[in-house]
Structure 1
């Protein structure tokens, strides 16, 4: 309660009492106060005038006190609500920070796993098959086949270029079937590792090098025709769906690369 109101009420009480005494003195100044009867009449006069006025002041003080208590209670509730909201925000920030840290830790583990899959894929390119060309047994690597098919290089060994370009390679032959199966398995492992990496990546810029490496592996599979076009498209669709799921995640946001014109 404000000090001003208390002072006002106190002054009002003093004025009331002074007024009552002044009224009594003015009205009965000719009569001396002596015996118990006179004092009784004086008490009745003062009580009859002062008590209602002082009672009104008491009720007024009670109303004012209740008003201030209500105001303080409302302020306390508002402060508690603000404190609760601030605590919820702090907890949310803490949880988000832990989530981001956990995702970063997982991504740092998934990146080497993907790189290992790509490395295994390139190692698989070095595998060779024993083929018969012009009554000769020749060890021919899958990478050499790709280089000839893509026109990058030509073999110095007579007959190999014609063998590759004439589509005499059958991936179901005993010499090539193990290579074909191995390359398919390595390519699928790399795709699965990339899907996991996409899920825990928060930036397209950070993810781009891994996507480019996988696209190079995809071109390799397409040139060698180990996978048909439909199978490659199915794997591409799985990667696109993984990117779409990541972009639609509400938190953490996925930052796409800025286009520079």
Structure 2
């Protein structure tokens, strides 16, 4: 593109030269004769030459001006787009850094005997522990039901887990949900969004993906960011559990409940 633009000036100069020579040859062909010494003849020649070429060259200059303005606008748009992309990348990695701090601050201490506290779970292990408690102590205790009733059967168990463990993981889960939304909504292009999502998922373990999947499913006010690349990551990329084969049915059941008008 830059090479093509650099050739435009010689091209326009060549066209102008051809026009000038063409007008001169046209005059010489129709009014052939010796070079006159009369001022009137030279004046008539000047009027003809200027009258024919001036509008053409002025129109060409106008086109050149328009092209220059368009080129400047295009370069300005490209520079602004690059700035927005750089700003998006900078904010994305700032958000990822904050989410890393959020997960590092999570801590669960299980209790056994008062004088002897149980194992301690910190950071990513704490998130995995909270997911394990959600599965073992709550979701897995629900008796199998029809697919369209799955959400309503599991939802009360999720609320029970939330009362016990949500305060510990809320900051991290909500920060990751915000980062996911940011990667989808604020990216300048599909490629930029796809790269951002890959960067986000690279920071998440399979257990964290599954926990966030359950939070999106069982939190009515939370938008379900489950489509395209996101859906594949949360359905197939999350850790496997006893509800693996039911995830699609659970998602459909949750969507049906949300779409059904509440009394």
TM-score by length of structure 2 reads: 0.48
User: Which of the two has higher C-alpha Rg?
Assistant: 1
